[in-house]
Structure 1
Amino acid sequence: MRTPSVRFARAAALLVGSCAAVSTLAAAPASASTPVTPLSPAAQPSIIGGSTAQNPGYITRFNGHANGYTFFCTSTLIGTRWVLTAKHCMYDNNGRRLTDIDLYIGSNSASGGVHAKASTTYVYSGGDLALIKLNADGGGTFARLAGSSSDAQEGDAARVYGWGATQSTDEGNHQSSVLKQAAVQIADTSATDYFGGPAIAADTPDGAVAGGDSGGPMIDDGVQVGVCSTSDRSSTTTYGSVAAGRSWIRQVSGI
């Protein structure tokens, strides 16, 4: 059975207390106009446990808007106008590509930092990665991206970051207002992400990844080696491999 992905969506038109978990993307990649089959409502990953983080300047809050909902994810600034996130974050509750996306860059607050809009989005056919081109400069501090699979080794200690839910029930009312982090240990560098692409699996003894952490980074020795894809909300998470998608990232963004 596929491990749940880790995005969270909230009914933007409703007051706090009226939140809805909605589905994310199913197996096949889709074009902007092609709907895809959604997951069950329970299939969502924030960091449960863990600790408050200090934003290094490039971790970015992702708010996508469609059909009266706001879809929350995490992402990273990798260039002046480029953001890396998860592919499953790019689709609304009807399985169509989001076109209205706000990014908040470099702050500990979920609504602070440099604000920019998405001007163009790109999805990776080989796994759970996506790129967003911004309509304005996002800042000058960028994530360092893995250049080869050797940047992540089984047994390595790494850290994961996100603004997602702080408990596994009623996630809509428990989204973190501040950036959180958790220590993880890389367990498998030949795992698969939500779309079957190359991924890094990690054990999460310090804090579990949950709804809203999707698209966030796994950092190993200062290098972003993964993009948050799935979580069982207790002990294991998978992150799409940055090294595996590195040539695609370079081809699209020039970075």
Structure 2
Amino acid sequence: MSIARALTGAVGAAIALAAFAAPAQAAEPTPPPDARPMIIDGSEVDSAPWAARLFVNGQENCTASIIAPEWVLTAQHCVEGAGDGVSFNIGNVDQTQGEKASAKPGGVHIHDTADLALVNIDHAVQTEYAPLGATGDVNVGDTVQTYGWGATCTDKPEIECQSQILKVANVDVTDIACQDYRGGTAVCATRGDGIPAGGDSGGPMFSNNKQVGVASTSDRQQNTAYTNITEYRDWIKQLAGV
């Protein structure tokens, strides 16, 4: 059985707890809270205008990226069942700052088979949007960058050690056609100078300054899987136009 876990940093959000842990290969019952993954190491980010901190009913929950004036990209397991209770702080590395935006009524769109979601927000945000990669923009052997506001400890409750400042970790790509939490096509990678996990769900993976992945699972130690968005560009374009 895989030890990979969904990366959600729930901090009390019921929807996050419901989808908190699942192997990259197949769905299974939710594990106990102490199985939650934590981000370790990496470094703080100075600037990330495309960054979006995701809240569910006002509680910090996941990471995301804004890809168009009214569209935010994140993971399915971050928003499933959250209804219109999804909101964001956008454009600032400090999760308490940034432009506030909320999901429009009915604005949460979930992919049928991959751990992806697009959220249509209630107003246009003017910033530098995350540029999306295409086929060939990520390859086995690449060192890529992963971003998130995840927890930075394993010996305390997540809420006590969520990173206030966005962090980045380098990871090394081992596969570009593995599986995400829902069985979708993923980019799998091993730890470089850090490993993404709890609270980093939905956050971006960048290769050569283009977003190629969305955080789905991690084993907290060595391995992580990001939904390979280069395989889902038609779906993204159909909804968000990019």
The question of 1:174 aligning with 2:148 is answered no
CA contact (8 A) 2:38 2:151 kept: yes
The structure-2 alpha-carbon separation of the partners of 1:136 and 1:45, relative to structure 1 and needing over 3 Å to count, comes to farther
Alignment correspondent of 2:48:
56
The corresponding residue for 2:17 is 22
What SS does structure 2 have at the residue aligned with 1:89? helix
Tell me what 1:89 maps to: 78
CA distance in 1, matches of 2:30, 2:202: 17
How much identity, in percent, do the aligned residues show? 37
Q: Does residue 1:188 correspond to 2:175, yes or no?
A: yes
| Aligned residue type for 1:53 | V
Please, what is the CA RMSD of the aligned residues? 2.1
| Shift of residue 172, structure 1, vs aligned partner | 2.3
Unaligned runs of 5+ in 1: 13-20, 28-35
For 1:164, the aligned partner's letter is G
Please name the residue that 1:143 is paired with. Answer: 130
Shift of 1:71: 5.0
> Closer, same or farther in 2 for the Cα pair 1:45/1:249, shift >3 Å?
farther
Instruction: List structure 1 segments (4+ residues) > 4 angstroms apart after TM superposition.
Output: none
Q: Distance in 1 between matches of 2:69 and 2:38?
A: 26
Alpha-carbon distance in structure 1 between the residues aligned to 2:109 and 2:44: 31
- Counterpart in 1 of 2:138? 152
Matched to 1:101, the amino acid is V
Equivalence for 1:115: 100
Q: Report the CA distance between 1:70 and its aligned residue.
A: 2.5
- Do residues 244 (structure 1) and 231 (structure 2) align? yes
Superimposed CA distance per residue, residues 56-109 of structure 1 (whole angstroms, 9 cap, x where no aligned partner)? 3001100112xxx82510000000010000000013xxxx34321120111010
The CA deviation string for residues 27-56 of structure 1, in whole angstroms up to 9 with x for no partner, is 8xxxxxxxx986223453453111001233
Write the distance in 2 (CA, Å) between the matches of 1:238 and 1:25: 15
> For residues 181-225 of structure 1, what are the alpha-carbon distances to aligned partners after superposition, in whole Å with 9 as ceiling and x for unaligned?
111111111110000100000111311212100000000001100
TM-score, with length taken from structure 1? 0.84
* Matching residue within 66, 79, 90 for 1:77: 66
The letter of the residue matching 2:131 is R
Give the TM-score, by structure 2 length.
Answer: 0.89
Structure 1 residue identity aligned to 2:71: W
Q: Secondary structure at the match of 1:151?
A: coil
Structure 2: which 5+ runs fail to align? none
Partner residue of 1:164?
150
Aligned residues: 231
